[in-house]
Amino acid sequence: MNIKDRVVEIIAEQAVLEPSDVTMDSTLEDLGIDSLGLVESIFAIEEEFDISVPFNANEPEKSDFDISSVSSIIAGIEQLVKEQS
């Protein structure tokens, strides 16, 4: 499985949806993922890819890690995997 599919699977599990329901332009809010769900998803992503995601819930907009849509999250993780591998 590529990075994109693995991330979609993690997000789908968090949202209790089928991976096919998670579209690239969905926001986490669209998928019903709240702030705790976001923190839990980031933890699952860090464990899955053995990376460290720089994310502070107090200032999500200041983080280099863009969480505005599923596609931006995937792009951010692809970048981190490249940098941290």
Partner 1 sequence: MKRVVITGAGTINSLGQTVPDTFEAMREGRCGIGELEFRDVDRLAIKIGGQVKGYDPEARFNRQQLALYDRFTQFTLIAAREAISQSGLQFSGELAARAGVILGNSGGGMTTLDDNYRTVYEDGKNRVHPFVVPKLMNNAAASHVSMELNLKGPSFTVATACASSNHAMAQAFQMVHGGLTPVMVTGGSESMLCFGGVKAWEGLRVMSKDGCRPFSATRNGMVQGEGAGVFVFEEYEHARARGAEILAEVAGYAMSSDASDIVMPSKQGAARAIRGTLKDARMDLSDVGYINAHGTGTAANDKTESAAVADVFGAHADNLMISSTKSMHGHLIGGTGAVELLACIMALRDGVIAPTINYDEPDPECALDVVPNEAREAKVEVALSNAFAFGGLNAVLALRRFG
Of 58, 59, 13, 5, give the one whose Cα is nearest residue 32. Answer: 13
Pick the stretch among 12-20, 39-47, 65-73, 76-84 that binds partner 1 (CB under 8 A): 39-47
Dihedrals phi, psi of 6, to nearest 5 degrees: -70, -40
Nearest approach, Cβ of 10 to partner 1 (angstroms)? 17
* Per-position x/- string for 43-82, each x denoting binding to partner 1 as judged by CB under 8 A, each - no binding: x--------x--xxxxx--x--------------------
Q: Which two tokens stand for residue 43?
A: 């933890």
Taking the complex as a whole, the smallest distance from the CB of residue 1 to partner 1 amounts, in Å, to 26
CA angle 37–61–65, rounded 5-degree value: 70
The residues, ordered by sequence, that sit 6+ positions from 7 with a Cβ below 8 Å of its Cβ are: 45, 70, 73, 74, 77
Nearer to partner 1, 21 or 32 (CB): 32
> Which residues of this chain interact with partner 1, rule CB under 8 A?
35-36, 39, 42-43, 52, 55-59, 62
